[in-house]
Structure 1
Amino acid sequence: MVILRAQGLARGAVLNFARTPSDIQATVNAIISRGNEIQRAVANQMQPTFANTIAPLAKFENDYGADSSVITFLQNVSTRKSIRDASSKAEQQLSAFRIESLMRKDVYDSVKEVLNNKKEMEALEPEDRRLVEKMAEQYWRNGLGLNHEHRERLGQIKVRLSELGITFSRNINENDGRILFTRQELDGLPEDYFDGRVTEMEDGVEKYVVTTKYPDLVPVMQMAKNEQTRKQLAVVSESRCPENIALLEEAIKLRAEAAHLLGHRTHASFVLEQNMAETPETVIEFEHDLQAKLNVLADKEIKEIEALKRDDCQVAGKPFTGLFHWDFRFYSNKVKELKHKVSDDEIKQYFPVEQVTRGVLDIYQQMLGLRFVKVDNPPVWHKDVEMYEVWEANDNQTFVGHFYLDLYPRDGKYNHACVNPIRAGFARPDGTREYPVAVMLANFPKPTSSAPALLTHDDVLTLLHEFGHVFHHICAETKWSHFQLESVQMDFIEAPSQMLENWGWEPSVLRKFAVHYKTGEPIPEDLVKRMVAAKNEGVGLSNLRQVFFGLFDMAIHDTFDGNIDIKSTYNTLREKTTGFSAGDTDTCGAATFGHMMGGYDAGYYGYLWAKVYSSDMYASRFLKDGVENPKTGMDYRREILLPGGSRDASVSLEKFLGRGPNKKAFLESIGLSSKV
């Protein structure tokens, strides 16, 4: 399917990302001023109703959500430090305003009157009724049931937590590690790793600069034969932002204190009551049950890895001293190469980024009944950024939204992969719609002088995954912006994206867009077979790594007082869960574990929890009906994506599956019997 190129911008107000620091501050002032005006009017209502109380508050969220998102988003992408600084300051100001707003008792009293008006509530449409309930719940969870003293203290805690989170994230974005290696120390890396790489002289020796950005870090950890090289880079990576440990420790204590004020034993208890899991006990039982099942696979995988490392030590004339976390990627990769004759260097020749992006977009076009149009010369924040329009496939008049792709690393940019929902879709009062906008950020390898940007297969899966978030946002069709992507339950939000990763393993799908960057030849059938055969190599250990992160999250957040030794807890739990030690290094990966300060606190388990649902959706509908079955795709769009957060995820799942979900498909997908 061809993606057309638009000469102009068709539908939907195009967002302005060209903001100066003074523009950003002016926008903050306007949002706060208008918000205060609306809240005063709501608080002064003599007879609160949905129309004069709930609707104005929700309409303010509709009208100003995009401006707020744009100016706070720029801290993650702008090339100018002054813009990033102004954006961070804006986020602090707007976060403080939101906290203050959600703690206004006079506004809550008006909202509560609407909630308690049974006659009016019964007359409301389902989404309007849910809006009232969720709005009242928000106020309650922000302390409106507390006395004045406790409410004041909770407000102070929330403002401080916001400051800590912004600083934590900014430290990670601004402080990439770097180290110098000789060519010999980087033995095992492919030739294109060195193409265009910056060198520096050290003690009269030319050395290559290697950073902790993913395109630098991951290949070294996977392919560098020299263990000391991998160890040194791992130490540099896990020694970044040491100041973040104190920030996280303070945040954990403040979260625990806030939970107590709100009547919960722990922060995890407070967070989880809104999720599908509901309680910390359920999460911990889930993690431990899965850990026991995964250990069946991991025990065998550890033996294979240990045997390989023992052989390497013997050849090098060195004693075997154990398995360390800098061994994990290298030996997992080596097992795949030896057993299945697959290597990332061979595979990536068939995944030039432009071809892959076009192929992945074709998958989504066909599945979701959409059409994507690339915009020429779009108004964006960096020359590498691409902008697309989204239309209904069979209707040239029905516009759906915009999305942007910012795929390559640069200084000061957010250094992982994520999707930012910049503008939510919603129904305008005149019956027309505001169109959603999403941005995908990634850090894929850049083009070199001798080759275009080439993706590993893991990168392809990341692209499929993140596009899943993009279209979850773009395809949600709710009346109020309140119920778009960010209101989806946290332990379900990853499921749609994880499900789409399966397309990256389908031979018929891969052959449509995987072509050699030089010859244009499609990926060989034999290579695809080897890739698929190697799919579950190391799956026990890789999933145990996810279990570790989930258990660490629970260890620091399901605690009564928040007094936790972060470094000891992180390193001890990692070794106990994954079998890989930190050795004699004095580091702590928690300093760059952005999820813990980026909205996934007491929620990281959701990645594996959602994996159960994603596997069930894929096996029970798409594999059964055919991965290219348009009816299944439209059922998925209608029942999973379209409702956004306007109904509980369990309802959406049952409507799509035709029954309640179970673990059977997930366990079978990783090579375990559902009876294990």
Structure 2
Amino acid sequence: MHSTQLKTKGSELNFDLSPEDINQTVDRLIAESTAICDQIASEPNPTFETVILPFETCNNRQATDYNMVTFLQDVSTEKDVRDASAAATEKLEAYEIERDSRKDLYAAVNAVYNNKSEMDKLGNEDRRLVEKLILDFKNAGVALSDSDREQLTTYKKRLSEIKIQFERNVSTQVGRVLFTREELIGLPVSFFEDRATETVDGVAKYIVTTKTPDYLPVIRYAAIENTRRRISLANSQRCPENIALLQETVELRLKVAQLLGYKSYAELELSTKMAKTPKTAVDFLNDLRTKLNVLGKLELEQIEELKRAEKAAAGETYTDLFRWDSSYYSNIIKQREHSIDMEEIKEYFSLEAVTRGILDIYQNMLGLHFAKVENPSVWHPDVVLYEVWEADKESFLGHLYLDLFPRENKFSHAAMSHIRTGHSNHDGSFEYPASVMLANFPKATSSTPALMQHSDVVTLMHELGHAFHRICSRTKWSRFHGTSVERDFVEAPSQMLENWAWEPSVLRRFAVHYKTGELIPEDLIKRLVASKNHNAGLGNLFQVAMALYDMKIHMIEDGTIDVKAVYNDIRDEVSHYKSGDEDSWTVATFAHLIGGYSAGYYGYLWSEVYSADMFETRFLKNGIDNPHTGMDYRREILFPGGSRDASVSLEKFLGRKPDSSAYMRSIGLASD
């Protein structure tokens, strides 16, 4: 049964919405917000109570409905619901652009900001709220002339339209290649179990898609180079129309930035991040690149030697190392140096046991209790729901939804979506958060349960870290809740929790063989842990390449830049792998550039510095199970969310300013 009453408090959410429900909700949200804004703009005595409080209370109240109607485009099995959700996103974002450019609204907020006696009596979070609102309005162009502000609004609305279309293309366009059994030599037997085939000219061929559970095994295990090349091309030639969309995006972003008085879009974006300036971010990346090249060149020599020998043995000519060679040869070297067989390891990581084990770890470390909800109201039968409580089971904290398997038209990567954002209510109660983890792990087959690669275990720990940043946060205003921190810090708490996947004492808690129930052997744990920094040079150099590309296209100050050509050039140069002769455009699926990481992808590597420091300084030193450290982490990192600067939270948890020495040690490079 459909319902237009979306909001709940401390209870399950209703995801069973029709397109009509979504449309009605959007109209209601806009009408309510407009009425509040009109009231504020006409306020004769602007104070925090008469201006800021009603404005942000409205945002608090509407957050869940807003998140719900925009979330369904990523998960719904019904096309009309996905379409309505995408349209809702476009309509709401267009409304926000108009709202945030209102001079009368800005004047009311600015009157509060400029009233020293009013500001002095505010608490820290309220004062921070006013300051952030002023910055929002300025970046929305309220200080511009009417004609320039109208032009800015046009640019921003078009950028919103592009973002929705770009992301929709990435989610819905899946590459597909047919292979014979012989062309898939090297793939494990489990890969073929329950796999669909298609007959072509009397020959049965296996259907392989570019979805993660298909793509990764082929690119990692297929012994025939042309097989790897074909699946790589199928993936890198998806969404060709996104190139034009990205090109237009970069050009529009520059126009937006310069209308607002910035030299480049990167300068605009970094003005609110920890790095502060594009130069700081680029210097960080180039310094890291120089250090990583020491490792990367050694790794590259090994891989090149291996491929040369393999080609010579087959009577073929060696030409170069290509992007489809990276995972394949790296995996062979990993097996050779550490005796690591990823298929063997996978047998000890059933998704059910791993999930249960990881939640147990977080329970102990963070002082939590998880209760699985039977027959929950969800958007798909695969989805699992947990209630999260304090360890004493007296205080409810929030809901955690897990949607972990691939399906048609579902969001195609791993991510955390926050549906209900925590915040204080006017009556003194608290709106409890609800977070959704989306992933695309391999499903069970007719003979095996859902089994995970160790890299999947790391991903699960990472994304759950984002969920607990929300669930363990308590802020007055939803805009500061949980992960609403500086973009170049937001990954640090989740990256830190990845370390638990490499700790022997942790692995012993949930790594059991899916058939025998036997604990993972100690020797296998040692080999797995020893392989942690395998390919650390080349793997991190690829991330540096992506981040440098992101900065380059957003640091232009005039003219245009060829987004496709520059991407291929930087990736080939920095990652040391070639793209091949055939035209490709992997950047067309680099959704981070369109979403929240534009001129901010460096943040993944920037955050690694902080995550390594937190882990080594507090958890390794005091014990990864130390409940005192876990509660310190909750109190100083998770609890405040974005209600204070991330640098303050870091220093309070570390007891000093952070530095990069722990990060260098964590990837196998001695610190200075």
TM range (shorter): over 0.9
1:652-667 mapped onto 2 (5 Å cutoff): 652-667=649-664
Separation in structure 2 between the aligned mates of residue 316 and residue 151 of structure 1, nearest angstrom: 65
- For 2:202 and 2:250, how far apart are their aligned partners in 1? 47
1:357 maps to amino acid: T
Give the counterpart letter for 2:92 in structure 1. Answer: L
Give distance in 2, aligned partners of 1:11 and 1:495.
Answer: 29
1:338 maps to which of 326, 336, 347: 336
3-state secondary structure, aligned to 1:487: coil
Query: Any idea what SS the aligned residue of 1:185 has?
Result: helix
Shift of 1:130: 0.8
Q: 1:378 and 1:231 mapped to 2: Cα distance? A: 43
Distance 2:340 2:559 in 1: 46
Other-structure match for 2:53:
55
Tell me which residue corresponds to 2:198.
Answer: 200
Q: CA–CA distance in 1 between the matches of 2:600 and 2:204?
A: 45
Amino acid at match of 2:153: G
| Mapped contact 1:556–1:562 kept (Cα < 8 A) | no
Question: Of 488, 493, 496, which residue of structure 1 is paired with 2:490?
Answer: 493
One-letter code of the match for 2:109?
A: V
2:568 matched to 1:559? no
* Paired residue total: 665
**Structure 1 position 411, deviation (Å):** 0.3
Return the offset for 1:487.
2.5
1:248 positional shift? 0.2
Instruction: Describe the superposition over 1:482-540 as per-residue Cα deviations: whole angstroms up to 9, x where unpaired.
Output: 11135310000000000000000000100100000000001100001001111111100
Tell me if 1:484 matches 2:469: no
The alignment status of 1:291 with 2:276, answered yes or no, reads no
Please state how far the C-alpha of 1:414 moved relative to its aligned partner.
0.3
In structure 2, the residue matched to 1:134 is: 132
Q: Which amino acid aligns with 1:476?
A: S
Matches within 5 A, 1:136-535: 136-394=134-392, 396-535=393-532
1:307-335 deviation per Cα after TM superposition (whole angstroms, max 9, x unaligned): 11011101111000010000001111111
Displacement after TM superposition at 1:410 (Å):
0.2
Counterparts of 1:564 and 1:448, CA distance in 2: 47
Shift of 1:653: 0.2
CA contact (8 A) 2:473 2:638 kept: yes
Does the alignment pair 1:584 with 2:581? Answer: yes
Contact in 1 for aligned 2:466/2:483 (Cα 8 Å): no
Conserved in 2, the CA contact under 8 Å of 1:483 and 1:646? yes
Please tell me the residue identity of whatever aligns with 1:124. Answer: L
Residues 589-648 of structure 1 show CA distances to partners (whole Å, capped at 9, x for unaligned) of: 100000000111000000000000000000000000000000000000100000010000
Q: Which of 632, 636, 641 is matched with 1:639 structurally?
A: 636
Q: CA RMSD in A?
A: 0.9
Return the alpha-carbon distance in structure 1 between the equivalents of residues 138 and 233 of structure 2: 44
2:103 to 90, 102, 105: 105
TM-score (norm 2): 0.98
Q: 1:544 and 2:541 equivalent?
A: yes
TM-score (norm 1): 0.98
AA aligned opposite 2:430: R
Greater Cα shift, 360-369 or 499-508: 360-369
Q: Tell me the amino acid that sits aligned with residue 406 of structure 1.
A: D
- Find the counterpart in structure 2 of residue 4 from structure 1: none
What CA distance in whole angstroms lies between the structure 1 residues aligned with 2:595 and 2:179? 33
- The answer to whether the Cα contact below 8 Å between 1:365 and 1:372 also exists between their aligned partners in 2 is yes
One-letter amino acid of the structure 1 residue matched with residue 542 of structure 2: R
The answer to whether the Cα contact below 8 Å between 1:252 and 1:562 also exists between their aligned partners in 2 is: no
Distance 2:108 2:541 in 1: 48
Q: Distance in 2 between matches of 1:95 and 1:277?
A: 27
Asked if the contact 2:423–2:431 (Cα under 8 Å) also holds between the matched residues in 1, the reply is yes
Classify the secondary structure of the residue corresponding to 1:326. helix
Indicate the SS of the match to 1:253.
helix
Q: Contact between 1:421 and 1:485, CA under 8 Å: does it hold in 2? A: no
SS at match of 2:324: coil
Q: What is the letter of the counterpart of residue 473 of structure 2? A: A
Task: State the one-letter code of the partner of 2:281.
Answer: V
Shift of 1:14: 2.4
Q: 4+ runs of 1 displaced by more than 2 Å?
A: none
Pick from 624, 627, 650 the counterpart of residue 621 of structure 2.
624
Alignment deviations for residues 379-410 of structure 1 (CA, whole Å, 9 cap, x no partner): 0000000011010002x321100010000000
The SS at the match of 1:543 is helix
Report the residue type matching 2:202 in the other structure.
G
| Aligned-partner SS, 2:120 | helix
Deviation at 1:265, TM superposition (A): 0.5
Partner of residue 5, structure 2: none
Q: Residue 607 of structure 2 aligns to which amino acid in structure 1?
A: A
2:33 aligned partner: 35
Q: CA deviation at 1:11?
A: 6.9
CA distance in 2, matches of 1:13, 1:582: 50
Decide whether the 8 Å contact of 1:350 with 1:523 is kept in 2: yes
Q: Which AA in structure 2 matches 1:611?
A: E
SS at match of 2:386: strand
1:6 corresponds in structure 2 to none
Taking the aligned partners of 1:124 and 1:539, their CA distance within structure 2 comes to: 47
**Contact 2:52/2:109 (8 A) holds in 1:** yes
Counterpart code for 1:285: D
Deviation, structure 1 residue 147 = 1.2
Whole-angstrom CA distance in 2 between matches of 1:11 and 1:504:
34
State the one-letter code of the partner of 1:569: V
Following TM superposition, by how much is the alpha carbon of 1:581 offset from its aligned partner in structure 2, in angstroms? 0.1
Structure-1 separation of matches of 2:564 and 2:142: 36
Aligned-pair CA distance for 1:551: 0.5
Which position in structure 1 is the counterpart of 2:65? 67
Aligned partner of 1:21 in structure 2 is 19
Which runs of no fewer than 5 residues in structure 1 stay unpaired?
1-9
The separation in 2 between residues aligned to 1:536 and 1:433, in whole angstroms, is: 43
| Alignment check: 8 A CA contact 1:253 1:561 kept | no
Distance in 2 between residues matched to 1:48 and 1:607, nearest whole Å: 41
Distance, in Å, in 2 between the alignment partners of 1:311 and 1:534 is 24
Secondary structure of 1:401's match?
strand
Identity %: 54
CA contact (8 A) 1:11 1:399 kept: no
Shift of 1:203: 1.6
Deviation at 1:567, TM superposition (A): 1.7
1:156 and 1:619 mapped to 2: Cα distance? 48
Equivalent-residue separation in structure 1 for 2:500 and 2:416 (angstroms): 19
Unpaired stretches in structure 2, ≥5 consecutive residues: 1-7
Q: Which of 600, 604, 608 is the aligned partner of 1:603?
A: 600
Q: Distance in 2 between matches of 1:227 and 1:465?
A: 32
